[in-house]
Amino acid sequence: MADSTLTRMDLAEAVHAEVGLSRNESAELVEAVLQHISDALVQGEQVKISSFGTFSTREKSARVGRNPKTGEEVPISPRRVLTFRPSHLTKERVATGNAGR
């Protein structure tokens, strides 16, 4: 398994190569899409990208956790967390590697 990370610049470079926009325009496009997704999630909207997956937020209630080192009980405050559910196509592609490309 490769120990690499896909970055914003990698996405911008892929847009540049595929679409032919300038590198700056590609970076701005990637940035705008990510900002739009982020803004929607902040407002509590679900973001569904067909054939990829769904991003959503959910509320987690307060609970009591435990410090694994000391065993001491620690209160965990309520919070909102980000979740991602991959589509069945994404799950299949990940399971088979690049064979589905």
Main-chain dihedrals φ then ψ at residue 2, nearest 5 degrees: -70, 145
Q: Of 62, 81, 61, 82, which is closest to residue 73 (Cα–Cα)?
A: 62
Q: Using pLDDT thresholds of 50, 70 and 90, give the confidence band for residue 100.
A: low
Encoded tokens for 90: 């994404």
* Confidence check: pLDDT of 99 > 70: no
- The per-residue pLDDT for range 31-69, each reduced to its tens digit, is 999 999 999 999 999 999 999 999 999 999 999 999 999
* Structural domains of the chain in order of their starting residue, each with its CATH number: 8-43 (no CATH), 46-100 (4.10.520.10)
